[in-house]
Structure 1
């Protein structure tokens, strides 16, 4: 297939490219700086979101458009300026995606657009599936709704639109896990906040595999929860890190300290929601890492002595 990926140099995009190249697809990575990258077999970089770029000229016959572009949520304190960039970068990317698709002679088979479980809002007792309404009015919930509203306009240009609502993605060097593991490396790990908040997580390898699964499965459309089938509460998450790394889980981090350090961004670790991947389960997607223990052993194997 001929596949365009916006945001291909990021955490999820890099893993997805590796997965797709195994199947010899033709990949076109949309970037503001195509000259920074070297063209490889089945992989080329083309410019977008600059005044002189016209990526549609290279995308005739496109089968799939994957939009992962946008300012990272955990790239720093949520100042007013960063919040503005978080929102505008995603809306801008979605608008440009739709402009590109409108210029192509044929509809694409499927559009995969990044989203987040933040859509649902925060709760210690609710269980959310793709059929759940949002109960959230925090910054993240409002932002995700804006992303999805803009992305769903692409239905005019495709046979299917899939909104991948990512949970907390676990990987070795990027995402939230390195920050969460650091205190344990220093023998200072412990409960973060009240500890009862839910963490709906997923291994980066399963993220990439599930995106490819959604590309290939024509029954899947609309929102899809990208979370492992076994979410855990935050205190359990910390204990598992300690067990795998052979480190103590003993030094609590009080909420006020995290709020002081992270500001509004502290919601990412102090609050959560229990989100289940019902659509992936219904279509019989098999997780390589369905449990937190197996995921952490894989990611932290150098420190776990396994």
Structure 2
């Protein structure tokens, strides 16, 4: 297959492009700056600059995977929140323009999204039929998904990957979560009762490939393992795997002072179930947290 990826230098983009190349597929990475030559099956395509015409190199592609967008891990000033929104809408709007310009429309757009769509809850359980929340992240995801869905007018199937917390040793939140345990300072964060919907990076990549090939799978799809845990349970499993104590609590007010509004990412959560992936026949390689963390942290 010929697959175009935006956000190809991010956590998911790097892992996805490596897996695609390993399996003999042709990969096009859309990037603002092409400062190196394309290598083997990876071709670098410049986009989002005045005058760029990436569509000239993308005829005949089988799928576009849109992962572009500013990280949400910066302090949420009003300016940075606008950057989070604008970066996603700008990239997705450009993806739509590219598809419109192609003579041969790609059969599928795989568009990144997030379980933040559902808002937060200590007691509720969410699947793909659940409604949206009313906070900043939910509003951002709703705008992002609405922009991606505009591609349907070209006959392109749209899959909205609502990612949970992606676990990987090379990036994302896990290395920062592991650090205090390595120094014997790990413990409960906030009340510890907040739900954490997580997924192993390998299941993310397998799930994206499954979504590309599964023509009946469309719309929002939760990319989370089928066994969400509370933050306290997560810490206890992490301490078991690392053979370190789970004893030193981090009070919620301290995180609110340190992180501001962004503290909701760790102090609030939601229990999300991957109903559509399971019903479509997808089998998780890492459905349980302990197995996932042991694989990731084994080296």
TM-score, normalized by length of structure 2?
0.98
- Give 3-state SS (helix, strand or coil) of 2:5's partner: strand
Counterpart of 1:116 (choices 114, 117, 134) is: 114
| Counterparts of 2:194 and 2:269, CA distance in 1 | 5
1:141-188 residue CA offsets vs partner (Å, 9 max, x unmatched): 111001011111011224310000000001102111111111111111
How big is the shift at 1:21?
A: 1.2
| Counterparts of 1:31 and 1:215, CA distance in 2 | 22
2:23 aligns with 23
Number of aligned pairs? Answer: 299
1:209-260 residue CA offsets vs partner (Å, 9 max, x unmatched): 1000000111100000000010000000001111110110001100001111
Runs of 4+ aligned residues of structure 1 deviating over 6 Å after TM superposition are none
2:9 aligns with 9
| Counterparts of 2:123 and 2:82, CA distance in 1 | 31
1:83 aligns with 81
Q: Does 1:177 align with 2:174?
A: yes
- Give 3-state SS (helix, strand or coil) of 1:175's partner: coil
Q: Does 1:281 align with 2:278?
A: yes
Counterpart of 2:142 (choices 145, 154, 176) is: 145
Counterpart of 2:125 (choices 124, 127, 131) is: 127
Does structure 2 conserve the Cα–Cα contact (< 8 Å) formed by 1:98 and 1:154?
Answer: yes
| Counterparts of 2:76 and 2:95, CA distance in 1 | 26
> How large is the RMSD of aligned CA atoms in angstroms?
0.9
Q: Does 1:46 align with 2:45?
A: yes
Counterpart of 2:153 (choices 151, 156, 159) is: 156
| Counterparts of 2:227 and 2:78, CA distance in 1 | 34
How big is the shift at 1:99?
A: 0.7
Does structure 2 conserve the Cα–Cα contact (< 8 Å) formed by 1:111 and 1:158?
Answer: no
1:297 aligns with 294
Kindly report which structure 2 residues correspond to 1:263-282, keeping only aligned pairs within 5 A, or say none.
Answer: 263-282=260-279
| Counterparts of 1:44 and 1:152, CA distance in 2 | 27
Q: Does 1:65 align with 2:64?
A: yes
TM-score, normalized by length of structure 1?
0.96
| Counterparts of 2:215 and 2:167, CA distance in 1 | 27
Moved more, 194-203 or 174-183: 174-183
- Give 3-state SS (helix, strand or coil) of 2:217's partner: coil
Counterpart of 1:246 (choices 235, 239, 243) is: 243
| Counterparts of 1:224 and 1:184, CA distance in 2 | 33
